Structure 1
Amino acid sequence: MIKERMDILIEYGNELPHAKVYYREDWDTYYFDLLGKQFGLMSKEATPDAFITLKGKPEVNETLRETYKDVVPGYYANKKHWNSIKLETTEITDEELKRMILNSYELVWANLPAKIRKEMKLNQ
């Protein structure tokens, strides 16, 4: 189940415009990349401890942590802006995880310089 979920999330990340998901050897993790900016990290192995770390608005992150036991402050990340979600969770569906990935992607996209966002939108 965890391996299948990881494959689904990697595929989804790669479908987002200008994004790519790849194994980053120096960090030993799957890296969700938007034009050189991180919008997610995911464990490399499908174990019960596997997780994905995604960016979110601080107030939304708090709500998610209060709502789901499998959502915790981001591992190796700014705990205010990032959450880690256990991939073995049954509380959160793949569709909800995809929405969280999209939200993280959009937050990072919004922080890119306006010139880059405009150029990239024209090239879609």
Structure 2
Amino acid sequence: MDLQAVKEKMDQLQQFGQTLPGAKVYYREDWDTIYFDLLGKQFGMMSPEAAEDSLITLKNLPEVNESLREQFPGVIILGYYANKTHWNSIHIANEEMAVQAIEQLIQVSYELVKAKLTKKQRAEIDPNEK
């Protein structure tokens, strides 16, 4: 995948993250990363520049993470600079996973972090939340 295609994929992933209620996606200078944030809680991080080795790191259930690594060897790896049980890193330049599949993983990561918020915080994000 050429670098322009990687950049476009990264831009699309950032835009998707921004559509999630209460989420912010921004460059975090102290970590030199694109940070996916939900009320101060991390639900993802991504390489700041398009490159062959650009990664996005996302949270998932431990058993799902293991299954994903087996299903996509070399594409999905143990979480880079993250808890290896709860986080996976995905090579963005891969051509095996459609951008929509990565967006689904962003959604799962977001939902897992959202579930850990207090009831009051969840209600701030979604007034329909019970």
Normalising to structure 1: TM-score of the pair?
0.96
Please state how far the C-alpha of 1:123 moved relative to its aligned partner: 8.2
- Other-structure match for 2:112: 107
**Paired residues, number:** 124
Partner of 1:22: 26
- Structure 1: runs of 5+ lacking an equivalent: none
Task: For residue 43 of structure 1, report the CA deviation from its aligned partner.
Answer: 0.1
Q: TM-score scaled by structure 2?
A: 0.92
Aligned 1:36-115 pairs, distance under 5 A: 36-69=40-73, 70-115=75-120
- Mapped to 2, the partners of 1:118 and 1:12 lie a distance apart of 21
For residues 55-79 of structure 1, the C-alpha deviation after alignment (integer angstroms, 9 at most, x for no partner) is 0000000000000020001000000
Q: Following TM superposition, by how much is the alpha carbon of 1:122 offset from its aligned partner in structure 2, in angstroms?
A: 1.5
Q: Distance in 1 between matches of 2:116 and 2:24?
A: 18
Percent of aligned pairs with the same amino acid: 56
- Return structure 1 stretches of 4+ with deviation > 6 angstroms: none
Aligned AA (1:120): I
Match of residue 37 from structure 2? 33
Q: Secondary structure at the match of 2:106?
A: helix
* AA in 2 matched with 1:101: I
Q: Distance in 2 between matches of 1:91 and 1:74?
A: 19
SS of the equivalent of 2:126 reads: helix
| One-letter amino acid of the counterpart of residue 125, structure 2 | M
Q: Tell me the C-alpha RMSD between the 2 structures.
A: 1.3
